[in-house]
């Protein structure tokens, strides 16, 4: 059952005036969130009268702001709110009531998901446009990598993880009462010993070590294939037991087992290609825990390859993020430019006067498309060696000023990574990454509102 607001607490009046006052930033955000448009996305998720009462939406929104504003975990967030009078008052939690449990907040965010967070950002941007805080006369766009919450992947490590996860799932399925008599040998220790041998071999740093690593990786692949043969019988018998006596928990375990089997088979194919000398593998799987993460190369010397997702960020002249998108892998930049400008035009009701981006977005087709949308000043540098006319155009004073202004989005992205969790998503899969980044943008725009408001 949906609860919009919590119970009123008269104990706040007992405290002195100084203890009841909120900091300036929190006071402005508290007033800004008192709008029905921030409640509407949650109404679709809960019934009006049925079920256990939820955490009040006004409390949930403010808790999420504090979490992503200060990059706190759920347990730390609840502990800090419980210990702070100003944070408790900001979140509208009575002095006599407990702070919501961390697991409750986690379940609520899983239920909301990326779609609810997207609706919250749309509502916030719409309110900022109505208040004339977002005008978007100028727009600068860039892409960045949001790392997945995984370790640096290697073929041997991924296969060993697959063997361990399959063994763990089989034990849980048999404990649930299915496929108990099916023979299964857990080879986790065998794979783990070979992985430790690889770690010892890497310390030699000699030419012979590379051949030894390939040999041990091949042995782990043999262990993984043997595990898959045993798992096939367990999966078959578990599905037979599921047909006789349906169970929600067993259905979930069998589904996870099927997904892990498919991922392990894919890892075996990748390992076979790599041992055959093929280093470039398209759409490579880099994690069983986060199968949507992909290797991404952005040409940075300090981080030649990152593992995660690509995010597009569009910023206006006042520092608000007016559009963002999270994609799997590393799609080309150029096709993303015009749709982003169109979304911003729909938001504000008119096209931005200036649009700038780096060379990855610079194409003649994008220049023509932006001109057709009504953009007056286009600052897109081109790849390769420009012709004489193009070179003269890029050396004009207006173009150089647009190019210099574009560089500022690098600082904005750095700020998002350092202060709003853009560096690494703590939620898995593409939907989790979209939820994480969307909440970070929501918190950032709210904080920016307190800085930019007159």
| 107 plus 231 within the same structural domain | no
Q: What percent of the chain lies above the pLDDT cut of 70?
A: 96
Domains in the chain, number: 3
37 part of a folded domain: yes
**Residue 284 within any structural domain of the chain:** no
Question: By C-alpha distance, which of 328, 295, 322 is closest to 309?
Answer: 328
Residue 399 lies in a domain: yes
Q: Specify whether 202 is located in the same domain as 322.
A: no
Structural domain contains residue 127: no
The whole-number pLDDT of residue 208 equals: 67
Does pTM top 0.75 for this prediction?
yes
pLDDT tens-digit map of 19-44: 678 889 999 999 999 989 999 899 88
User: Do 303 and 259 have their domain in common?
Assistant: no
- Among 73-87, 201-215, 275-289, 313-327, whose mean pLDDT is lowest? 201-215
**Domain range for 412:** 133-150+293-434+447-452
What letter would DSSP give residue 424? B
Are residues 318 and 269 both part of a single domain? Answer: no
Amino acid 28: pLDDT: 93
Q: Are residues 298 and 214 in the same domain?
A: no
Q: Do 315 and 421 have their domain in common? A: yes
Q: Other C-beta atoms within 10 Å of 250: how many?
A: 19
Q: What is the pLDDT of residues 274-300, one digit of tens each?
A: 998 888 888 899 999 999 999 998 877
Task: Identify whether residues 215 and 315 lie together within a single domain.
Answer: no
User: Are residues 161 and 143 located together in one domain of the fold?
Assistant: no
pLDDT-derived band at 368, boundaries 50, 70, 90: very high
Q: What whole-number distance in Å separates Cα of residue 88 and Cα of residue 348?
A: 35
Domain assignment present for 120: no
- Among residues 243, 275, 307, the one where a domain terminates is 275
User: Are 320 and 339 contacting, i.e. CB atoms less than 8 angstroms apart?
Assistant: no
Looking at residue 391, which CATH number applies to its domain?
A: 3.30.420
Instruction: Specify the pLDDT at position 205.
Output: 62
* Confidence at residue 278, expressed as pLDDT on a 0 to 100 scale: 86
Residues 140, 108 within the same domain = no
Residue 428, φ and ψ in degrees, nearest 5:
-95, 160
CA–CA separation, 407 and 395 (whole Å) = 16
Cα separation, 217 vs 210, whole angstroms: 11
Q: What is the pLDDT of residues 240-256, one digit of tens each?
A: 988 888 888 899 999 99
Confidence of residue 78 (pLDDT cuts 50, 70, 90): very high
More confident residue, 241 or 342: 342
- C-alpha to C-alpha distance for 122 and 409, rounded to whole angstroms: 21
**What CA–CA distance (Å, rounded) separates 414 from 424?**
12
Whether residue 367 is predicted with pLDDT greater than 80 in this model: the reply is yes
Question: For residue range 396-440, what is the model confidence (pLDDT) as tens digits?
Answer: 999 999 999 999 999 999 999 999 999 999 999 999 999 999 999
Query: How far is residue 53's CA from residue 142's CA, in Å, rounded to a whole number?
Result: 42
3-state helix, strand, coil in the chain (%, to 5): 60, 10, 30
Structure-model confidence comparison of residues 442 and 248, the more confident one: 442
- Same-domain status, 34 and 164: no
410 and 303 in a common domain:
yes
Question: Does residue 442 belong to any structural domain of this protein?
Answer: no
Residues 137 and 77 in one domain: no
Mark which of 85, 113, 141 sits at the end of a domain. Answer: 113
Q: Is residue 348 part of a domain?
A: yes
4 in a domain, yes or no?
no
- Residue 6 pLDDT exceeds 80: no
């Amino acid at each position: 059952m949906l609860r919009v607001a919590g119970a009123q607490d008269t104990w706040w009046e007992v405290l002195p005036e100084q203890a009841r006052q909120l900091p300036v930033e929190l006071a402005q955000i508290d007033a800004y969130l008192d709008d029905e448009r921030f409640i509407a996305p949650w109404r679709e998720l809960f019934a009006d009268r049925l079920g256990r009462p939820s955490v009040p939406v006004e409390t949930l929104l403010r808790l999420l702001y504090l979490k992503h504003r200060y990059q706190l975990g759920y347990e730390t967030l609840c502990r800090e709110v419980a210990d702070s009078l100003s944070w408790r008052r900001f979140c509208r939690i009575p002095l006599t009531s407990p702070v919501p449990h961390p697991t409750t907040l986690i379940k609520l965010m899983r239920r909301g998901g990326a779609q609810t967070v997207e609706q919250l950002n749309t509502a916030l941007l719409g309110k900022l446009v109505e208040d004339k805080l977002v005008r978007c006369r100028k727009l600068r766009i860039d892409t960045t990598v949001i790392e997945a919450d995984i370790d640096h992947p290697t073929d041997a490590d991924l296969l060993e993880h697959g063997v361990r996860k399959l063994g763990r799932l089989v034990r849980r399925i048999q404990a649930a009462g299915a496929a108990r008599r099916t023979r299964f040998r857990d080879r986790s220790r065998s794979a783990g010993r070979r992985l430790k041998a690889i770690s010892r071999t890497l310390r030699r740093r000699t030419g012979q070590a590379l051949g030894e690593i390939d040999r041990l990786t091949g042995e782990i692949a043999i262990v993984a294939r043997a595990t898959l043969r045993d798992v096939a019988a367990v999966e078959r018998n578990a599905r037979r037991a599921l047909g006789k006596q349906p169970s929600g928990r067993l259905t979930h375990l069998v589904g996870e087992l099927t997904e892990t089997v498919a991922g392990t088979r894919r890892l075996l194919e990748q390992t076979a290609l790599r041992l055959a000398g093929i280093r470039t593998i398209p759409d490579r799987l880099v994690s069983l825990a986060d199968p949507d993460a992909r290797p991404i190369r952005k040409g940075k010397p300090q981080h030649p390859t990152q593992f995660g997702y690509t995010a597009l960020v569009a910023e206006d002249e006042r520092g608000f993020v007016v559009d963002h998108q999270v994609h799997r892998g590393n799609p080309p930049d150029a096709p993303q430019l015009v749709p982003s400008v169109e979304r911003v035009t729909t938001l504000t009701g008119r096209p931005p006067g200036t649009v700038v981006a780096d060379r990855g977005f610079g194409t003649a087709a994008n220049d023509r498309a932006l001109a057709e949308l009504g953009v007056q000043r286009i600052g897109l540098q081109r790849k390769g060696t420009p012709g004489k006319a193009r070179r003269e155009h890029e050396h004009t004073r207006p173009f150089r000023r647009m190019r210099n202004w574009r560089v500022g989005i690098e600082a904005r992205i750095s700020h998002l990574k350092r202060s709003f969790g853009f560096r690494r998503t703590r939620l898995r899969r593409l939907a989790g990454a979209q939820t994480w980044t969307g909440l970070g943008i929501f918190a950032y725009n709210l904080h920016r509102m307190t800085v930019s408001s007159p």
